[in-house]
Structure 1
Amino acid sequence: MILFGTLVNGIGIILGSLIGLFLNKIPEKTKETTMNGIGLAVTLIGLRMAIETDQIIVMLLSLLFGAFAGEWLQLEERFEKLGAFLESKFSKGKQSSVSEGFITASLIFVIGAMAVVGALDSGIRGDHDVLVTKAIIDSFVALVLTTTLGWGVMLSVIPVLLYEGGIALLSTQIHNWIPQDFMDVFIVEMTATGGILIVAIGLNILHITKVRVANLLPSLLFIGFILYGWLKLGI
């Protein structure tokens, strides 16, 4: 079953989020300290991902074009409106951060080598070990995030299923379209560019900055086109 690993990953996020909802009676100071710890860990994860780049100019161009596209599309504002709408419908007057939980969790769970490589393994080789391992990790992260950011974290299962499921399904034919050499380079650079976004998430969690991370998401699409042109030019 091609989507087995993707479904397990989604179930892991849902279970972790549900457990986190039952553990929401944690003192505010404990939540604050926990979020600081998560912010530091997320920043470190992002830095480790980002330094893997071999084409830093490609990363920079992708971020620049992605920022222009994201600001033009107003992605951050649209996410916030979606979160506010869901919050008004389901929060019943309680103070929560649905949009923040949704955006933060989505980026953490979607961006990274494990999501791409795991989905490719599921589709090409029928090997789901990477995504099952990722599901275990994501479930614990979802648990902790939900205790501090609320049930919006659970909504991140939607982009995770679409992203990983889409890659898994496309990968059954991807070898006919894209050379393996290019895919290897693309995964490295996409992961590195995603690492920069993860660093921004970590800094936002620590309240050091307020980066509109959602407006940088298109950079993950531009990385493929720019990298292709870059390699074609032999730079």
Structure 2
Amino acid sequence: MIPGIGTAVNVVTVLLGASLGVLLGNRLPTRTRDVVTDGLGLLTLLIAGTSAMAVLSDDLTDEVGTGAPMLIVLGALLLGGIVGSLLRLESRVEGLGGWLQSRLSGDTGSVERHRFIEGFVVTSLLFCTGPLTILGSLNDGLGNGAEQLYLKAALDGFAAIAFAASFGWGVAASALTVLVVQGSLTLLGLGLGDVLPDAHLAALEATGGLLLVGVALRLLRVREIPVADLLPALLFAPILCELAVALH
């Protein structure tokens, strides 16, 4: 599959969702939104489980042994969580959204302009700061498929309907942000795919799968896991894999 297709699909779903939301207005029942979100949460669990099974990859076990893969993923999550929480990544992302909204959504004297800008800022942050954005785009570039981005596209399209019903066409403008951010991350994944060995990529995929479990739990409203605080685990996974290879 050609890298970048997932981002293209995501852009299209945001545009279609925003258009439909503008047409529907506030007619979409809250219960319907919740049911669809629950279904997408269950699908996220399925994709997460498939990705996490990379911990049993032959490429990884051949390089580090049968016992080390679990320790690599565990170490990556622990170190990543410590670093992410100390850096307060989750709260910083939320703070960035508040800062941008206050800077760009000031009193312009025009209700429509304010509504457009607020819709653009809020949905740009929603669509581009989540773990699925990073994990999905990197995996797409790494050649692991675009399933995660397809899931994100479905989530974003549905969210765009709801937001556009309130904010109008500013939501559609966030498709440009999606294109720039996810396109850049996909290109980064392409570069990493040429550098990282298969064992390191397997460790990265398994760690990312567990982060997706956190995303699923949030979608299902089971627990609000601060997944952004765990994102540094994606950096530690290949590093710990290299250390395990050296010690094996």
Task: Please classify the TM superposition score into its range, dividing by the shorter chain length.
Answer: 0.7 to 0.9
**Equivalent residue number for residue 29 of structure 2:** 27
How far the C-alpha of 1:149 sits from its partner, in A, is 6.6
**Equivalent residue number for residue 12 of structure 1:** 9
Larger radius of gyration: 2
Distance 2:75 2:95 in 1: 29
How far the C-alpha of 1:227 sits from its partner, in A, is 0.6
How far the C-alpha of 1:85 sits from its partner, in A, is 3.1
**Equivalent residue number for residue 97 of structure 2:** 83
Q: TM-score, normalised by structure 1?
A: 0.74
Say whether residues 1:110 and 2:126 are aligned partners: no
Deviations 1:188-227 (A, max 9, x none): 1111110111110110111110111001000000011111
Aligned partners of 1:42 and 1:199 also within 8 Å? yes
Q: TM-score, normalised by structure 2?
A: 0.70
The structure-2 alpha-carbon separation of the partners of 1:220 and 1:170, relative to structure 1 and needing over 3 Å to count, comes to closer
* Partner of residue 184 from structure 2, selected from 135, 142, 162: 162
What percent of counterpart residues are identical?
Answer: 22
Amino acid at match of 1:143: G
Give structure 2 stretches of 5+ with no counterpart.
Answer: 57-68, 106-113, 165-170
Aligned partners of 1:49 and 1:192 also within 8 Å? yes
The structure-2 alpha-carbon separation of the partners of 1:211 and 1:120, relative to structure 1 and needing over 3 Å to count, comes to closer
Amino acid at match of 2:14: S
Amino acid at match of 2:135: I
Between the two proteins, the alignment pairs up a number of residues equal to: 209
Aligned partners of 2:51 and 2:205 also within 8 Å? yes
Deviations 1:104-152 (A, max 9, x none): 3xx224325x843x5256xxxxxxx956x88766544532343357749
**Equivalent residue number for residue 218 of structure 1:** 232
Say whether residues 1:65 and 2:91 are aligned partners: no
**Residues 1-235 of structure 1 correspond to what in structure 2 (within 5 A)?**
5-6=3-4, 8-24=5-21, 25=24, 26-54=28-56, 55-88=69-102, 89=104, 92=115, 98=123, 99-104=125-130, 107-111=131-135, 115-116=138-139, 118-120=140-142, 139-148=153-162, 151=171, 154=175, 155-169=177-191, 174=195, 183-234=197-248
Cα-Cα RMSD: 3.2
Give structure 1 stretches of 5+ with no counterpart.
Answer: 122-128
The structure-2 alpha-carbon separation of the partners of 1:63 and 1:158, relative to structure 1 and needing over 3 Å to count, comes to farther
SS in 2 for 1:71: helix
